[in-house]
Structure 1
Amino acid sequence: MERIKAPTGRHRYGLWLGLMLLGLVLSVGQWVFAQSSEERKAVVLTIDGAIGPATMDYVVRGIEDAEENGAAIVVLQLDTPGGLMDSTRTLIKAILASDVPVATWVTPAGARAASAGTYILYGSHIAAMSPATNLGSATPVQMGGMPGSEETPGEPSGESGTGEEQTDESRSDKNSTAMERKVMEDAVSYIRGLADRHGRNGDWAERAVREAVNLGATEALDQNVIDVVATDLDDLLSQVHGRDVVMASGTRTLDTENLAIVRQQPDWRTSLLSVITDPNVAYFLMIIGFYGIIFELANPGSLYPGVIGAICLVLALFAFQVLSVNYAGLALILLGLAFIVGEAFMPSFGMLGVGGIVAFVLGSVILMDGSHQAISLPAVGGTAAVAGGFILWTVTRFIGLRRKAPAVGTEHMPEERCRSLEDFSRDGDYYRGHVRLSGERWNAISNEAITDGQWVRVQSVEGLTVKVAPEQPDHGRQEAL
């Protein structure tokens, strides 16, 4: 048996040197990783557009990531005309429960924090604005088929032409519905609670809800509505350094010096949710899904219409779940589409079609009547025009088919050209045999003798027997032409 040699001194020295180098590399790598992970960061999230489910999901996930990575502060760069209250409340809940301070900054110049944006500013630990920006108009808007009509903020209520401006709060409450008062008082209580938590002007916040007033950046700072007016991100971080903010765990002093800026833009998931929950996209997804299912039921086994329709319909239902939808409008749209499809299968010479278009247009107009999620009227008009063209084509098609000669059954057989399969035999007053007509074998009779393979013309049909006559030469030439 061969003996294994023990390592010599040179080999033993090289082995120890390699292990030392490996340990040194691992130690340096661990130190570099620890240094990079402990680097203090400011995470910047961007909100540009209406507040909806996609925006809410993006901000909530951004705050959670900032907590996991130990960020020093989260900055929301805000420019919004408003949005959905449910999404806004969920977003503010995430801000209030965050372990990382959140500063909402209305920027760039010309941006606004209207409606839902005002609530987000009041709910943030730091409220900041850039010069030439504004906030306010926080009056809740009735959407989604809630009872009562909407009053435009700032306009006097009551009958027009009186010249009397009705500003008395009790009279305004008289003219509003119970549901509107509930929504208004809930919004006032909510924004006042946010103002009290962070020590901001609660009286102006109530006016922003009840009277839809607005403020610029300088006025907002003077009236203790916001904390900072900052020209850029470095200016913002510099001004908030050392401030005390109220967190879920208690008061904390901000340390925002020498922070690394990490901008976290919306990812593909947020972009996809934004597209799906767009009212116009959800509207067309519903239409495509409905017609896809109808075409699949009309032509079983086609697969493509059914698969595409089912996917689009599920996406549309998801979008309608998170959007404020007037269900009367949705019912009218589905009823209108059903009437339009019914016109093709049960022609009523336009009655079902016209009724379907009227129901479809009315339902589309009132489907989403919110100020930030209305369906585009040109989209509704274009879809209705396409449906109207389809109905017109269907009606004219059926009228043309009524004037056309029958293409099936015994009615179309006279004057058809066929060929004898044998020599006809004499049977009383007729010659009897068989012919091939439209790919089928038929009994045939004739007043004249017919030979095998001779071309003949059908004169009449009696049950399962056709009466034929030899084809005339002019007929043959005509057929050749």
Structure 2
Amino acid sequence: KEGDSGDGEKDGLTRPAEAGSAMEQKVVNDAVAYLRSLAEKRGRNADWAELAVREAASISSEEALNLGVIDVVAENIGDLLEQIDGLSVEVNDRELILQTSGLVIERLLPDWRSELLGVITSPTIAYLLLLIGIYGLVLEGYNPGAIVPGVVGAICLLMALYALQMLPVNYAGLGLIALGIILMIAEVMAPSFGALGIGGIIAMVIGSIILIDTDVPGFEVSRALIAAIAMVGSLGLMTIIWFAIRARQRPVVSGREQLIGARGTALESFQKEGEVFVHSERWSAIAETPVQAEQEIVVTGLDGLTLIVRAAGAHLKEQKNDRV
């Protein structure tokens, strides 16, 4: 039944399959045979039932009433009960008389469990739960002991898997989403200047679009959500590339070059040899100028494993004396 009650209603059956192959033709013929037998048994219009299957025919409610496809046209449930009162029907080879006049209409609303299932089995919500679950477990793997990401991720992932098994899921789409996430994680672990990340974003977007395998309008993952996730992934990818480029352009500093010019603290007062604290390590040092305990020092050279240091600011005093 399509449309609201009253004039303009349409009755029709959607064709089960296009008769393009022998198997599809057999499905159509089986449906026609079943509906014709049912229509003839109930005194319906068997010819129109066949047209509804083979040609996807549809008619208005008044035409359906005139052709014997339906019994009554009702405005609402109350009107329907009034019109079918006293109607004779056959059930299990027994003839029954309907007594529907004065019946109380009781509406049963879904309980909280049904409401919850209705929410999580929405394709968009199931998709969002899937992403939260995967990323939550990934964050827990990067930060063992954080607990919260792991708990939230596990709960969301289980809810997503429950919802997806009730939906017409395209497993190729699910595989592309998983591949996309793996590629983006690989980009973070081993930066490839965007090659892995771009491939991951493309795979994830395509997988998200084809995730739900149905042509029903509106029964799909929100395109706006897919676009938003793709934008967030692209921004993250550009950030990773920017940091990778900066790391490549930064001059390599290690060994001797790393120590010369470094600042530290004298652990004792000494004029020749003593110990200093530089780069969170204790070093033996030779002083170019007298050094006091807890005084800031600057490394000016390296003699084997011994640092050559001077008191911070001592070279400034020498420059002033030279000018005088």
Report the equivalent of 2:15: 139
Confirm whether residue 450 of structure 1 aligns to residue 252 of structure 2: no
Q: What is the percentage of aligned positions where both structures have the same residue?
A: 42
More relative contact order in 1 or in 2 (CA 8 Å, sep 6+)?
1
Confirm whether residue 348 of structure 1 aligns to residue 224 of structure 2: no
CA-based RMSD of the aligned residues comes to 3.1
Q: Distance in 2 between matches of 1:190 and 1:475?
A: 103
Q: Is the 8 A contact 1:406 1:412 kept in 2?
A: no
Matches within 5 A, 1:25-44: none
CA distances 1:274-307 after superposition (whole Å, capped 9, x unpaired): 2111112112221221111111111111122212
Report the equivalent of 2:201: 357
Amino acid at match of 1:139: R
Q: Is the 8 A contact 1:405 1:412 kept in 2?
A: no
Which 10-residue stretch deviates more, 244-253 or 206-215? 244-253
Report the equivalent of 1:381: 227
Report the equivalent of 2:103: 259
Q: Secondary structure at the match of 1:138?
A: coil
Q: Is the 8 A contact 1:421 1:434 kept in 2?
A: yes
Amino acid at match of 1:220: A
CA apart distance, 1:178: 5.7
Relative to structure 1, is the Cα distance of residues 333 and 240 closer, same or farther in structure 2, using a 3 angstrom cutoff? Answer: same
Per the normalisation by structure 2, the TM-score is 0.83
Q: Distance in 1 between matches of 2:158 and 2:37?
A: 38
Relative to structure 1, is the Cα distance of residues 350 and 186 closer, same or farther in structure 2, using a 3 angstrom cutoff? Answer: farther
Q: Is the 8 A contact 2:289 2:314 kept in 1?
A: no
CA distances 1:145-171 after superposition (whole Å, capped 9, x unpaired): xxxxxx7xxxxxxxxxxxxxxxxxxxx
CA apart distance, 1:406: 6.8
CA apart distance, 1:472: 2.1
Report the equivalent of 1:221: 65
User: Which structure 2 residue ranges, 5 or more long, are not aligned?
Assistant: 318-324
Amino acid at match of 2:170: N
Q: Distance in 1 between matches of 2:23 and 2:306?
A: 78
Relative to structure 1, is the Cα distance of residues 368 and 463 closer, same or farther in structure 2, using a 3 angstrom cutoff? Answer: farther
Name the count of aligned residue pairs: 315
CA apart distance, 1:194: 5.5
CA apart distance, 1:239: 0.9
Q: Distance in 2 between matches of 1:266 and 1:463?
A: 81
Q: Distance in 2 between matches of 1:383 and 1:399?
A: 24
Q: Distance in 1 between matches of 2:54 and 2:257?
A: 77
Report the equivalent of 1:390: 236
Per the normalisation by structure 1, the TM-score is 0.58
CA apart distance, 1:331: 0.8
CA apart distance, 1:457: 0.5
Matches within 5 A, 1:308-457: 308-372=152-216, 373-404=219-250, 412-424=258-270, 431-457=272-298
